[in-house]
Structures are given as structure tokens and as C-alpha cells.
């Protein structure tokens, strides 16, 4: 299974996402923001970082990159897409996911090992988890506070599209403790925490994040 | 005056024109020397270049007579010969398996006081470009920071800004921040210290040096455009050149003298430069930092075998009103200069275009021996580059041990009243644990990304940072920075050695073998003989200790004039030690892991309380002599730790330093919430708990490993004392007191959030 990892100018966790794909048993394919070509990959990860420095609204410039035209088009056709942190912001800016991510309530960047509850296992990226399972993965962001209007939030909850929720404390002020959401179909997931930093006991807080990558590999087989 | 351009021709025709050399910080004899070198008066552009390159910051004119002794150390580490040493942008050492590592620590103290966020941010940016310029991929940063008292209002101005600046810049570059220090002392109020360290990794064959060779090779400036930031004192030249009279309104607007960082541009610069290296398109390279183009052009030309010609009109500007002097002196960030063979220019520019990095040919290597710079078709600089870059003045500043040092050393903390009941000892432990220097620093370090790149094996709060270099073999490097300025104040020779010893020990507790040193020497005014004595003694101490431990100094930085009025900072020779570990999976962390393990204290405890955290926190006292330096004991301890980690004997290891055994026990318990029951073997429980004797560490191991480990310790000549056993969730000091994990945790972690919000 070939999973593309897009590098935008200012992407930082592309190397980590590619490593996570490999550790899960997939083949990682490097994709370049300036190329409107996904090279036939089966799924795409938009990694974390500070694309274009986040000088404008996070993700607001990257959504216009040539590669995103392809991502949006193929996501509509059901291709699995995972946006992590800055990638989540890009997905919101691209209107593949509802809501927005704004500055943390405490106005500071925070890097911590975060407890997260997997709320929905019906997405392409979470099928290997058990609903309600609590995992520890890295959270690191300055603008990770998820917001949307009440109606949208109610709809997300009602349709089972809240993918993950913070537990043991809300680190950034996200409404309803939301750490990740999906689109209606469940192929597009945006996640503020970084599962790619929790795939190796040696260099992260355990391997709880690997499930996101093994999930998509299974969904592609089936 | 229509143009007012001060060309070489004008300088020759008008030799006696008054020049503002004093305003630019030059001494009369320095100005005279420039005239002798050139055989005429300098043009204003030349004066700008000399004044900035001959400044203390760039020329090390007060310090270099003392620094040169580091060059006398054998230029090799236990692994192999150094691949590049002092004088390059950063030293490069062999770590085996074809890999090399470059690391360096630098100061950005004064800018960070003036503008905390940008000062700290550009400090990170500058050191990262130094590492990049060696041909290495930057892989980690660390930031030793020092502030005034935690409760001082100005600390609340500078600390949040500095921390946000370090994080804001480093996080955006994708460099894990794996350690550092945060120390509070009244002498840093009004003069905080922001030191920044970067580590980079390269293959041996990727080493690049800063030199411009090969006549006809093109000189390319790439990265950010040049603006008016960081030009400081040169504005006196600008006003001379462009205004008819004092107060004339045509001069450029006043601009901030602290540079403004653009970490996104730096990230592009890193990726772009690494791709240029990989494509073999770089014949020579230099980053632009302090003194900007003046420094880059003169250093590149000086290290090469010819001259260099630069056309300043080609330099891309952010501000079209800049004068040639300002362009030469601008410290705009995120710029690099490369020397490229003519046939490679097109490919070079294509890679820059891919990364959306501006790149412009601004000159070429010539067959002369002068650096020549033109502006609007006229020559404004024509100098021997070496005279700018390397032949700056050297001062033998007078230094003398002040008599007050005797009084200071006579006032020993060992004479102060001590706690002696169990209740008092318990209260003292908690008081120290929650004190600013010993408390939890995660309020600071949680603002830094420690995970990016996926190779961080250890980061704060462990004794050293440890990063994996090779995913397949597990090769890794550990780095620690340390300095106790109070020890250095009591005895600068011993204090510098103790800084080295602690850093060396911290690298060893992770299981790595210490290889090399970089230092950042922060002191007060060199014009004060007492401060100069501190500096001279610290250098001598560091050199002697490096010789004894067999570790070279690979480079570093000096920051002087760190004082507020007459009050100098504590002498603060920050020492960074880098070590190598053949397999990072061996690594040992610093907290107790599970109950039922044996707790062993390594090293010898003496009654050493002067300069201690106890004397500082409880008695606000500084006097006496610092702990004894015992380098053979440090070496034996480090060897024992590395062997024991390799052999899988240890489950945790933590060095003993500020706060002594009490602090080490408390931190080890807090880490994973696993307690310990220990029995103190010394007659005096206070000395056992709070003495700060060096060359000690606390380790745990499975009971069945104990005989083998004790035998190894005996062979290594390291005293080993069995203190007790790890237990549930309490720290019990038998016969004296016990404290629950929750109380320890709460005390340790409450301080910074309570003070800083």
C-alpha cells in the first residue's frame, strides 16, 4: 500500500509521518506541494509543521497549493486523507472538514504527552482501535483550539464524527474537548495530536499512535 | 554635496576628512592602524567594516590571548581526529560509522534584554546557520538561560518573551529542543543570559568550509533580503553621508538595532542548503550573522587563495534607502553566502527557486588579493580581507585577583546554622525542591517541541539530551550544558572545571561516552581587572581539565560586558559536552522505574556546602570554596556508567549536583511516582543529603545485578554505597523523615506556574 506524505514549505513532521507509515507496514511516498500529481498513492497524510510560517491564518496559503487540488478531488472520491496538526488546519481551510483551529486558550505553544479517547472507529484511520479506548499520543501546538458553531458541533456529535477527544484535561480550550473530526464518509480525518510521534517506544511516549496508520492500511485492503 | 559617496578615490584625495571612528567604538590607535594598513584614510564603508569586525563581539580582542590555549589541546577525541576545529563556524568531530557531528553554543544576551522575543529567536537562528554552514543537518537545539530573581518584575518581562522566542523560532524550524538550563540569580537581573546550542550531523564527505577559492567562481547571496535591522551604531555614518547638516531630514528612518527573525525563511534555507550540498554545487559557504556582509565577504575571501569583488547594487534589499555602509553592516537574518563554480550557477539558482529562496550572484572570486566592493559603479571598499577578518587588535587586558576574593573565600557556608531534626531536614528538602533553581522547569520546556524529527531518545528533564543519529545502527549523541556561576564566583578556575565535570557526568549518566566540549563564556566587563581575572582563571581551568579528561574544545563563544552598572554577573562559563553512544536502545533514564530495585550512591560525599543551593536558598549566602574538583574520579565514574549501561546493568541513573543527594532522590521519585527507602550511612544526615560534592551519581538496578555492578565499581575505583530499595510511593529516609510522592510532586511543580501564570 502506498501512502503519500505531502511536504509543504515549512512542513516539519513529514519525515516522522513517513516513518510511521513504514513502521505500520506501508510504503511512504514523498509528495511535493507544487506538483498537482499524487503519483497514484492510495492515501495521503498532510503532516504537521508551520506551512508558510503560519504567518497568515494556519493552513490558509497551503490550501491553494497545486497538490491540494488533487487531494480535494480524490478525497471526494473516497481516498483516505489524514491531516495532522497543521494538516488538520489545511483540511479545515480546504473545507474538507468543518470548523477551525484558533490560538490556544492559554496563548502558549504546548508540547505534552496527551491522553486522548478514540470516540469513533468508523473512519479509515481509526478502525484498528476500540471505541472508547484511551491512548497517549503527543500533542504540540500553538493554535489547536478547535471551534465551530453549536449547530455544527451538534451535527458532528450526532453523526459520530468526533473522532477523538482530550481526556484528563483540555490542553488548548477546544470546544467539547474535540481532538479530531472526520467528514461524513469517514475517509477524511483531521487530528490535532500527533500519532506519528507515538510509534516507537524509544523516541516517543509509546506506540499508541501506530493504530492510525495500520487502520488505513487495513481499510485499503478491504 | 550631491551624492556624498565616499569612494576610495575621494578618500585618497581628501585624506584628512574627520571620521566618526570614536562613535563607531574604535579607539584612536585602532583607527590609526586602519590608516596604516590602507596607506590612506578608510572610506566610510571601509570604516564601517573595520569597526564592526574589530568589535569585541567579532574580534575577541580582549579574550583571544586567553582562548588560544584551547588550541594547544590535542585536536582529537577518544574516537578520532577532529575534522574541523576552533576558527571554523563550528567544530566537527568524528563519531564513527562515517558520521561526524558538529555542535556549538553561542550567546545572544544583550539583544534578549532589549527585545526578549526577537533577541532569543534570532539567537537560535544564528547558531543553527553556523551548524548548517559546516555541511550538517541541524538535529537538535538546547538553551541554557539565566534570569534575575523569579519574583522580580523585570524577570516577568524578559522570561516569557525569551522562552516564547526560543520556542517560536526553534519549533518553526522543526528542531527538537532537548535540554538546557534555567537558572535564577540576582546578578542576572538587567542582564539575562540567553545561550543557544545547536547540534548537526553530517557524513564525513559532506564537510564544507568557509572559503572563497577558484578565480572566476561566483559569489551568491541567498535567503532573506537585506534590510535595515541590526545596524546599530552605523547610523552615525549614514547620517554623515546622506544629510547636509545635523538634523537634516533626508536620512534613513531610525530602525531597531535588534534583528527580527523569520523562522519560516530559515526553514527553507536549511532544506534548500542541504539540497545544494547534496547536489555538489557548493565550493565554499558562510552564514551571515553578526556583522553581516562585512563578515561573510571578508572571512570567505580571507580563507581563500585570491581576492573577491562584490557589487553591492546587486544585493536584494528590503529598503531601497539603505546606504552602502548599512548594507555592509546589516544583520538581517536568514541569509547565506555561497561560492559556486560558474558552470554550477544555473543549477544552484534552480534549487533555490524550487524552495522559493531568493538567490543572486553579487560578485566573484578574483585573482587579486583584495576584497573590492563597488556601489553605483564606484569603488567604496578596497582592503586586504585578512586585515578585516583576522588582524584585528589584540589586548592584553590587565587582570588581578581582587583582595576581596580572600574575604569571600573565608566566609564559608559550612559555618552556617543547619537543620538537625528529622522535621527540619524534611522541611529543608521541600524548601529546596520548590526553589526556583531546583523546581520543575516544564513551564518553560513544554513550550518547546522535543519530538519533531522522531529521533529524540532523551530530553529535559533528563540529565542530558540524547538523539538517535542512525535509525539502523542505533548510533546516537548525547549533549548536556552546565554551569554553576556561584561556584565560579568563589573560584573561577575550579568553577569552570566543575561546569565541565557536571556536563561530562550528565552525558555519562545517559550511557554515552563524552567526546568533546563547546563553551559559552559569559562574563562582566573585561576592563575591570577583577572580571578579567575571573575570565583568565576560567579559561585556564577549563583548558587544564579538558587536557586531563582528554576532550578537546571544538569552539565556542565569548560574551563580555554582561553587567549592570558596577555589578557584573556571576562568572558564567557554560560548558557543553557532547558524547557518543553506539546504540541508543541501551540508554538509561533518570527516574526510579519500579519498586524492589536497589538504590546505589556512587562517589564520595564530603562536607561541601559553600556555594551550595542550600546556602543560597536558606541563608542567601555566597562564600567559601566550591566543592573539590576530582577529575580522575569523574573519569572513573563516567567509564563505569557507560560500561554498566552498555552491559544492561542499570535501570536508572541520575547525576548529583545542585541540591545534592536530597534533590537527586526527590527528582528520581517524582519522575515515575516510584518511591524509595534509604538509609544514610554518614554520621551527619544533613551533609549526606545536601552536600554538593562532585563526581557522584545515583543509580538503581535489579538486586541480582548488584554483585556484578559492585565488582565493576570496585575495579573502576568508584566508591559505591548501597542506600536502600525502591518502594511504593514514598521517599523514606530511615530514622529521619518520609515524604509522599504527591507532596514531592506538588512542591516541585508549583513554583513556576505560580510565579508566571
For A50-115, the DSSP string reads -GGGG-SSTTTTGGGSHHHHHHHHHHHTT--EEEETHHHHHHHHTTSSSSEEE--TTSS-EEEEEE
**Residue linked to cell 560558474:** B342
Which residues in chain A land under pLDDT 50? none
> What is the count of structural domains for chain A?
1
Q: Find the CATH number of the domain harbouring A79.
A: 3.40.50.880
Report pLDDT for A10.
97
Q: What is the mean pLDDT of chain A?
A: 97
Contacts of B357 in chain A (CB under 8 A): none
CB contact under 8 A, A50 and B264: yes
A56 in reach of chain B (CB within 8 A): no
Find the DSSP H helices in B585-696.
613-619, 631-646, 660-672, 685-690
Q: Tell me the C-alpha distance between B79 and B86, whole Å.
A: 18
pLDDT at residue B499 tops 80: yes
For residues B412-425, average pLDDT? 97
Pairing relationship of beta strands A81-84 and A43-46 according to DSSP bridges: parallel
Its ipTM equals: 0.96
For residues B519-526, average pLDDT? 96
pLDDT tens for residues B659-684?
A: 999 999 999 999 999 999 999 988 89
CB contact under 8 A, A15 and B448: no
- Closest to B232 measured CA to CA, from B116, B63, B120, B111: B111
pLDDT tens for residues B572-628?
A: 999 999 999 999 999 999 999 999 999 999 999 999 999 999 999 999 999 999 999
Residues 6+ apart with CB under 8 A from B299: B210, B286, B385, B389
Residues 6+ apart with CB under 8 A from B195: B105, B106, B107, B108, B109, B123, B143, B144, B145, B481, B520, B522, B557, B574
A138: cell is 503527543
Pairing relationship of beta strands B307-311 and B371-375 according to DSSP bridges: parallel
Confidence of residue B445 (pLDDT cuts 50, 70, 90): very high
Q: B262 to chain A: nearest residue by CA?
A: A53
pLDDT at residue B464 tops 90: yes
B735: phi then psi, degrees, rounded to nearest 5: 85, -5
Give the gap in angstroms from C-alpha B751 to the nearest C-alpha of chain A.
18
Beta bridge partners of B107: B195
pLDDT tens for residues B500-512?
A: 999 999 999 999 9
CB contact under 8 A, A53 and B172: yes
CB contact under 8 A, A109 and B164: yes
Range of the domain at A114: 2-221
Residues of chain B with a CB closer than 8 angstroms to some CB in chain A: 164, 167-168, 171-174, 262-265, 267-268, 354-356, 446-457, 468, 471, 584-585, 587
Q: A137 to chain B: nearest residue by CA?
A: B451
pLDDT tens for residues A98-128?
A: 999 999 999 999 999 999 999 999 999 999 9
The answer to whether B156 is a known catalytic residue is no
A-B Cβ pairs (cutoff 8 Å, strict):
84
The answer to whether A85 is a known catalytic residue is yes
Q: Tell me the C-alpha distance between B629 and B576, whole Å.
A: 18
Q: Tell me the C-alpha distance between B206 and B459, whole Å.
A: 27
Looking at per-residue pLDDT, the higher value among B91 and B469 belongs to B469
Confidence of residue B203 (pLDDT cuts 50, 70, 90): very high
What three-state secondary structure class fits B95?
strand
Report pLDDT for B243.
39
Report pLDDT for B421.
96
CB contact under 8 A, B264 and A9: yes
Q: Tell me the C-alpha distance between B225 and B220, whole Å.
A: 13
Note whether B224 and B335 are within 8 A (CB). Answer: yes
Contacts of A109 in chain B (CB under 8 A): 164, 167-168, 171, 447-449
Contacts of A202 in chain B (CB under 8 A): 457, 468, 584-585, 587
Distances (CA, A) of B9 to B42, B241, B368, B379, B381: 11, 16, 19, 8, 10
- % of chain A residues with pLDDT over 70: 100
The answer to whether B108 is a known catalytic residue is yes
- Closest to A89 measured CA to CA, from A76, A81, A99, A80: A99
Domains of chain B: 8-63+209-389 (3.90.650.10)
Report pLDDT for B258.
76
What is the radius of gyration, based on Cα positions, of chain A?
Answer: 15
Q: What is the mean pLDDT of chain B?
A: 93
CB contact under 8 A, A197 and B447: no
Q: Tell me the C-alpha distance between B80 and A4, whole Å.
A: 41
CB contact under 8 A, A110 and B447: yes
Report pLDDT for B232.
61
What is the DSSP code string of B515-567?
Answer: EEEEEEEE-S-TTSHHHHHHHHHHHHHHHHHHHHHT--EEEEEEE---EETTE
What three-state secondary structure class fits A166?
strand
Query: What's the pTM value of the predicted model, to 2 decimals?
Result: 0.95
Report pLDDT for B57.
84
Report pLDDT for B212.
81
Contacts of A19 in chain B (CB under 8 A): 454, 471
Amino acid at each position: 500500500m502506498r501512502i503519500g506524505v505531502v511536504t509543504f514549505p515549512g512542513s516539519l513532521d513529514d519525515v516522522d509521518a513517513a516513518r510511521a507509515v513504514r513502521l505500520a507496514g506501508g510504503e511512504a511516498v514523498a509528495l511535493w506541494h507544487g506538483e498537482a500529481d499524487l503519483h497514484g498513492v492510495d492515501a495521503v497524510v498532510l503532516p504537521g509543521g508551520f506551512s508558510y510560517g503560519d504567518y497568515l491564518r494556519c493552513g490558509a496559503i497551503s490550501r491553494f497549493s497545486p497538490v491540494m487540488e488533487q487531494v480535494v478531488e480524490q478525497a471526494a472520491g473516497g481516498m483516505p486523507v489524514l491531516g495532522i496538526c497543521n494538516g488538520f488546519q489545511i483540511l479545515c481551510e480546504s473545507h474538507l472538514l468543518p470548523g477551525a483551529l484558533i490560538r490556544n486558550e492559554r496563548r502558549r505553544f504546548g508540547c505534552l504527552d496527551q491522553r486522548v479517547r478514540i470516540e469513533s472507529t468508523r473512519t479509515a484511520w481509526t478502525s484498528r482501535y476500540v471505541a472508547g479506548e484511551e491512548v497517549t499520543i503527543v500533542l504540540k501546538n500553538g493554535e489547536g483550539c478547535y471551534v465551530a458553531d453549536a449547530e455544527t458541533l451538534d451535527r458532528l456529535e450526532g453523526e459520530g464524527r468526533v473522532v477523538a477527544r482530550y481526556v484528563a484535561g483540555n490542553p488548548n480550550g477546544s470546544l467539547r474537548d474535540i481532538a479530531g473530526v472526520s467528514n461524513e464518509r469517514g475517509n477524511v480525518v483531521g487530528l490535532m495530536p500527533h500519532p506519528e510521534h507515538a510509534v516507537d517506544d524509544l523516541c516517543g511516549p509509546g506506540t499508541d499512535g501506530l493504530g492510525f496508520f495500520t487502520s488505513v492500511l487495513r481499510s485499503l485492503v478491504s | 554635496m550631491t551624492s556624498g559617496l565616499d569612494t576610495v578615490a575621494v578618500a585618497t584625495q581628501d585624506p584628512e576628512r574627520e571620521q566618526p571612528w570614536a562613535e563607531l567604538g574604535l579607539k584612536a590607535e585602532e583607527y590609526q592602524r586602519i590608516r596604516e594598513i590602507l596607506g590612506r584614510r578608510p572610506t566610510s564603508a571601509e570604516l564601517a567594516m573595520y569597526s564592526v569586525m574589530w568589535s569585541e563581539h567579532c574580534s575577541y580582542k580582549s579574550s583571544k590571548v586567553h582562548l588560544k590555549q584551547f588550541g594547544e589541546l590535542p585536536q582529537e577525541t577518544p574516537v578520532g581526529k577532529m575534522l574541523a576545529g576552533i576558527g571554523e563556524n563550528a567544530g566537527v568531530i568524528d563519531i564513527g560509522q562515517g558520521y561526524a557531528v558538529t555542535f556549538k553554543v553561542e550567546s545572544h544576551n544583550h539583544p534578549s534584554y532589549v527585545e526578549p522575543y526577537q533577541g532569543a529567536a534570532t539567537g537560535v537562528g544564528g547558531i543553527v546557520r553556523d551548524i548548517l554552514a559546516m555541511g550538517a543537518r541541524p538535529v537538535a537545539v538546547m538553551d541554557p538561560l539565566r534570569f534575575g530573581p523569579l519574583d522580580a518584575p523585570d524577570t516577568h518581562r524578559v522570561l516569557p518573551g525569551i522562552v516564547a522566542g526560543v520556542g517560536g523560532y526553534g519549533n518553526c524550524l522543526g528542531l527538537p529542543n532537548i535540554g538546557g538550563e534555567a537558572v535564577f540569580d540576582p546578578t542576572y537581573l538587567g542582564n539575562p543570559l540567553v545561550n543557544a546550542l545547536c547540534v548537526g550531523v553530517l557524513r564525513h564527505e559532506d564537510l564544507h568550509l568557509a572559503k572563497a577559492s577558484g578565480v572566476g567562481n561566483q559569489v551568491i547571496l541567498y535567503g532573506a533580503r537585506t534590510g535595515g535591522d541590526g545596524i546599530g551604531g552605523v547610523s552615525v555614518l549614514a547620517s554623515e553621508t546622506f544629510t547636509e547638516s545635523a538634523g537634516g531630514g533626508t536620512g534613513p528612518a531610525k530602525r531597531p538595532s535588534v534583528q527580527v527573525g523569520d523562522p519560516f525563511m530559515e526553514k527553507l534555507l536549511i532544506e534548500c542548503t542541504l539540497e545544494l550540498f547534496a547536489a555538489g554545487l557548493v565550493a565554499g559557504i558562510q552564514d551571515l550573522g553578526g556583522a553581516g556582509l562585512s563578515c561573510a565577504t571578508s572571512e570567505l575571501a580571507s580563507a581563500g587563495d585570491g581576492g573577491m569583488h562584490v557589487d553591492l547594487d546587486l544585493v536584494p534589499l528590503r529598503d531601497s534607502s539603505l546606504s552602502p555602509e548599512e548594507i555592509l553592516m546589516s544583520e538581517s537574518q536568514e541569509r547565506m553566502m555561497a561560492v559556486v563554480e560558474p558552470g554550477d550557477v544555473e543549477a544552484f539558482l534552480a534549487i533555490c527557486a524550487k524552495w522559493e529562496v531568493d538567490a543572486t550572484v553579487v560578485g566573484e572570486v578574483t585573482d587579486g588579493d583584495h576584497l573590492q566592493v563597488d556601489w553605483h559603479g564606484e569603488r567604496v571598499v578596497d582592503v586586504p580581507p585578512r586585515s578585516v577578518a583576522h588582524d584585528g587588535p589584540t589586548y592584553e587586558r590587565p587582570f588581578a585577583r581582587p583582595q576581596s576574593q580572600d574575604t569571600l573565600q573565608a566566609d564559608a557556608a559550612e559555618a552556617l546554622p543547619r537543620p538537625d531534626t528529622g522535621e527540619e531536614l524534611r522541611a529543608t528538602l521541600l524548601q529546596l525542591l520548590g526553589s526556583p533553581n531546583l523546581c520543575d522547569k516544564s513551564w518553560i520546556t513544554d513550550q518547546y517541541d522535543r519530538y519533531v524529527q522522531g529521533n529524540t531518545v532523551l530530553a529535559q528533564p533528563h540529565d542530558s539530551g540524547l538523539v538517535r543519529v542512525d535509525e539502523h545502527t542505533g548510533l546516537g549523541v548525547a549533549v548536556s550544558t552546565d554551569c554553576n556561576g556561584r561556584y565560579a564566583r568563589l573560584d573561577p578556575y575550579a568553577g569552570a572545571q566543575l561546569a565541565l565535570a557536571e556536563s561530562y557526568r550528565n552525558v555519562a549518566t545517559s550511557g554515552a561516552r563524552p567526546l568533546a566540549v563547546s563553551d559559552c563564556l559569559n562574563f562582566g566587563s573585561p576592563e575591570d581587572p577583577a572580571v578579567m581575572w575571573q575570565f583568565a582563571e576560567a579559561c585556564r581551568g577549563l583548558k587544564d581539565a579538558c587536557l586531563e579528561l582528554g576532550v578537546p574544545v571544538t569552539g565556542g563563544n565569548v560574551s563580555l560586558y554582561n553587567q549592570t552598572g558596577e555589578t557584573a554577573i556571576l562568572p558564567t562559563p557554560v560548558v557543553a559536552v557532547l558524547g557518543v553512544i553506539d546504540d541508543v536502545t541501551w540508554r538509561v533514564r533518570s527516574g526510579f522505574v519500579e519498586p524492589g530495585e536497589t538504590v546505589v550512591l556512587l562517589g564520595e560525599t564530603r562536607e561541601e556546602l559553600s556555594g551550595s543551593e542550600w546556602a543560597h536558598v536558606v541563608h542567601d549566602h555566597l562564600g567559601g570554596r566550591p566543592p573539590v574538583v576530582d577529575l580522575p574520579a569523574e573519569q572513573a565514574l563516567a567509564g563505569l556508567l557507560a560500561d554498566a549501561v552498555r552491559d544492561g546493568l542499570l535501570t536508572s541513573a541520575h547525576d548529583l549536583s545542585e541540591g545534592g543527594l536530597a534533590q537527586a532522590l526527590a527528582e528520581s521519585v517524582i519522575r515515575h511516582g516510584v518511591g524509595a527507602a534509604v538509609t544514610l550511612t554518614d554520621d551527619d544526615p544533613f551533609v549526606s543529603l545536601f552536600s554538593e560534592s562532585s563526581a557522584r551519581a545515583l543509580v538503581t538496578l535489579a538486586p541480582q545485578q548488584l554483585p556484578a555492578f559492585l565488582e565493576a565499581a570496585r575495579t573502576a575505583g568508584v566508591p559505591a554505597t548501597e542506600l536502600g530499595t525502591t518502594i511504593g510511593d514514598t521517599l523514606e529516609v530511615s530514622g529521619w523523615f518520609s515524604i509522599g510522592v504527591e507532596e514531592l510532586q506538588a512542591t516541585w511543580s508549583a513554583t513556576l506556574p505560580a510565579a508566571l501564570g
